[in-house]
Amino acid sequence: MTTISPETLALPVAMAVAAGLVGCFAVMRRMTLASDAISHVALPGIGIALVLRINPLVGGIAALVIGTILVWGLEHRTKLPTEAVIGVVFSAALAIGSMLTSGENLIEALFGAARSPGLLEVSLGCAGAVLVVAFVLRARSRLVIALVSSDLARTVGIDVRRLDLVYLLAFALAVALGLRYLGVLLMGSLIIIPATTARYVARSLGSMLVVAVVISVASTLLGTLGAPLLHVGGGPLIIAIAAGFFMLGLLWHRRA
Amino acid sequence: MTPNALEVEGLGVRFGGTPALADVSFVVPQGGTLAVIGPNGSGKTVLFKALIGAVRHEGEIRWAEGTRIGYVPQKLDIERDLPITGFDFLRAKASVLRAPEADIRRSLKLVNLTPKVASRPIDTFSGGQFQRLLLAFAVMGRPTVLLFDEPTAGVDEPGEESLYAMIRRLQKEEHLTLLLISHELALVYQHADTVLCLSAGHRTAFFGVPEDVLTPERLREAYRVPLKLHVHDDHLS
Window 125-154 of B: residues touching A by CB (8 A cutoff) are 137, 141
> What ipTM goes with this model?
0.84
Pairing mode, if any, of strands B194-198 and B205-208? antiparallel
Closest A-chain CA to B75: A149
CA distances from A93 to A35, A42, A43, B196 (A): 14, 8, 7, 52
Q: Does A163 contact chain B (CB < 8 Å)? A: no
Domain ranges of chain A: 6-255
pTM of the model: 0.85
Q: HEC profile for A9-25?
A: HHHHHHHHHHHHHHHHH
Task: Determine the Cα–Cα distance for residues A47 and B71; give it in Å rounded to an integer.
Answer: 49
A141 touches chain B (CB under 8 A): yes
Fold classification of A6-255 (topology level): ABC transporter involved in vitamin B12 uptake, BtuC (1.10.3470)
Per-residue pLDDT of chain A (256 residues; tens, 9 = 90+): 456 677 678 889 999 999 999 999 999 988 777 777 778 888 888 888 888 888 888 888 898 888 888 878 877 777 677 667 777 777 788 788 878 877 777 777 777 776 677 788 888 889 999 999 999 999 999 999 999 888 999 999 999 989 989 998 999 999 988 888 888 888 889 999 999 999 988 989 999 999 999 999 999 999 999 988 998 888 899 999 999 999 999 888 766 6
Judged on CB neighbours under 10 Å (0-12, 13-18, 19+), B234 is exposed
User: Which residue in A49, A50, A47, A35 sits closest to A90, CA to CA?
Assistant: A35
By Cβ distance, the residue of A79, A149, A202 closest to B73 is: A149
What is the least distance, in Å, from the CA of B32 to any CA of chain A?
20
Instruction: Give the E-state strand segments of B16-142 in sequence order.
Output: 18-29, 33-37, 58-63, 69-72
